[in-house]
Amino acid sequence: MERLVVISNRTGDLENKTQTGGLAVGIVDALRSRGGMWVGWNGEVGRESKASRKTYDNVISLTMPLSEEEHEQYYLGFANKVLWPAFHYRLDLMDHRTEFVDRYAAVNRKFADMTCPHLREDDLIWIHDYHLIPLAAEFRQRDCRQKIGFFLHIPFPSADVFSAIPYHDWLRECFLQFDLIGLQTKNDVQNFCRYLREHSDVEFITSNTVRWHDQVITIADFPIGIDVQQFAEMAHQDDDTIELERMRRTVLKRFQIISADRLDYSKGLPQRMKAFRKFLEDCPEYQGRAEYLQIASPSREDVSAYADIRAELEGLTGAVNGKFADFNWAPIQYINRNIPREQLAQLFRCSLVGLITPLRDGMNLVAKEYVAAQDDKDPGILILSKFAGAAEELDQAIIVNPYDIHDVAQALKRAAVMSMDERRERHRSLLKQVTGNDANQWKDNYLAALQSAGTSGELKKRF
């Protein structure tokens, strides 16, 4: 079997036996069974930190730090002030400067320089996410003929929006150096193919396979999954504090709602809080009983749009609590830090509603985790944004428009009175979906497609 070489902006923890998150679970498994290499940024910034090469049995970890400029212009700059907002339909937040794109290209060159000397001729190369779109082009320039696949973890926007990104022509040329372009959803694949039809001369061989010079490129959806069993086990561990939370639901009849997100403007947190406020106004019988727990882990705090959203949320939480709270009850609990995954899993288990309403999301694994954490005798209800990639698969959730505060408030009302039979029926179907396409299945599907993609044997050098 060919070795696997994975390259992503952040690398997983190869030292740890238990992995968290879909990407790490699927990838570490594949790396351990095939042998190979994981290349990426070590998460450090500055001159003190050094590139390193470590070996864990049959897997090599190759990491490098970023300089201050690289961090500023490649990671915070082009990746997170240009690509991230644009791919999430927030062109208004795009903040582009020429030095950003130059540094983005330069860091991709650096990744290629670091990786190339370690590549074998028959390696399968799997590149992840929007930080590394130009990397295949860099490899091809260095005469690499291996199969190179890309997986985009975030949404691919509509053709118009993508074409508004500065340098989208260049990005397109870079995309076309891969053999396989994996996206999260069918909608993403449609957007990508439409963009190619409208903005390039590629020849479509099938609806999702194109020819560009001597290269055949497949564009397909591979919805990412989670390790269902591992998450369910975490959710069912004993914990006294969490047991108390469960009793609040069963004995005190509290209506507990939970959300967990990175604190990101794409997650729709202010809209969600406003919807909860509307629910309290429309259903006064839930004042004193409804409790909304929002866990928002800090993220990319050096980007001003993230600081703005944080300030807005703090204002909203204060306003809603100030208006509705009583001596023994506050409607919103807002936690702005990371909490351990085990605790999160258990909190999911004892909350009657998982409220997952991003304005745009590649997949949203929290939605799948919420489903995996439920007890099948007394399962909670998932309320899910139609703009999360997960909504394509999880159609038995209550699907809402996250921009429509009234719609989300109505969904909360519906959840509050949903019969046990309906809850169980919906949960059965959701769990089947989540289990049927877990992290391992995702990785197997992708790697099988990569192995059979492209035009084997031909020289893939086009520059």
Interface with ligand G6P includes 414 (CB under 6 A)? no
Measured from the CB atom, the residue of 131 and 246 that comes closer to ligand G6P is 131
Interface with ligand G6P includes 310 (CB under 6 A)? no
Please pick, from the candidates 70, 123, 129, 221, the single residue that binds ligand G6P as defined by CB under 6 A.
129
Interface with ligand G6P includes 159 (CB under 6 A)? no
What is the three-class DSSP state of 342? helix
Measured from the CB atom, the residue of 299 and 429 that comes closer to ligand G6P is 299
Interface with ligand G6P includes 300 (CB under 6 A)? yes
Residue nearest to ligand G6P (CB): 153
Min dist CB 299 to ligand G6P, Å, is 6
Interface with ligand G6P includes 81 (CB under 6 A)? no
Please pick, from the candidates 62, 105, 125, 154, the single residue that binds ligand G6P as defined by CB under 6 A.
154
CA atoms within 13 A on the CB side of 449: 24
**Cβ-proximal residues to 189 (8 Å cutoff; 6+ apart), any chain:** 156, 183, 208, 219, 220, 221
The secondary structure of 117-160 as a DSSP string is GG--TT-EEEEESGGGTTHHHHHHHTT--SEEEEE--S----HH
Min dist CB 150 to ligand G6P, Å, is 13
Measured from the CB atom, the residue of 66 and 447 that comes closer to ligand G6P is 66
Interface with ligand G6P includes 341 (CB under 6 A)? no
Min dist CB 300 to ligand G6P, Å, is 5
Q: Is the distance from CB of 162 to CB of 156 less than 8 angstroms? A: yes
Amino acid identity of residue 459, one-letter, is: L
Closest residue by Cα to residue 308 from 272, 270, 260: 270
Residue 284 tokens read as 């006064």
**DSSP tally for the chain: helices H, then strands E:** 17, 16
Angle between helices 341-350 and 365-373 (to 10 degrees): 60
Estimate to the nearest angstrom the gap between the alpha carbon of 316 and the chain centroid. 26
- Mark whether 88 is an active-site residue: no
Measured from the CB atom, the residue of 10 and 199 that comes closer to ligand G6P is 10
Interface with ligand G6P includes 42 (CB under 6 A)? no
- Mark whether 168 is an active-site residue: no
- Between CA 455 and CA 322 the distance in angstroms is 63
Interface with ligand G6P includes 10 (CB under 6 A)? yes
**Cβ-proximal residues to 216 (8 Å cutoff; 6+ apart), any chain:** 179, 205, 209, 210, 453, 454, 455
Interface with ligand G6P includes 3 (CB under 6 A)? no
Measured from the CB atom, the residue of 38 and 255 that comes closer to ligand G6P is 38
Measured from the CB atom, the residue of 154 and 391 that comes closer to ligand G6P is 154
Size of interface with ligand G6P, in residues (CB under 6 A)? 7
Could you give phi then psi for residue 132, rounded to 5 degrees? -125, 30
Interface with ligand G6P includes 90 (CB under 6 A)? no
Please pick, from the candidates 200, 299, 338, 455, the single residue that binds ligand G6P as defined by CB under 6 A.
299
The active-site residue out of 71, 88, 153, 427 is 153
**Cβ-proximal residues to 323 (8 Å cutoff; 6+ apart), any chain:** 277
Measured from the CB atom, the residue of 89 and 329 that comes closer to ligand G6P is 89
Closest residue by Cα to residue 391 from 364, 428, 351, 426: 364
Which residues would be at the binding site for ligand G6P (CB under 6 A)? 9-10, 129, 153-154, 299-300
Catalytically annotated residues: 153, 361
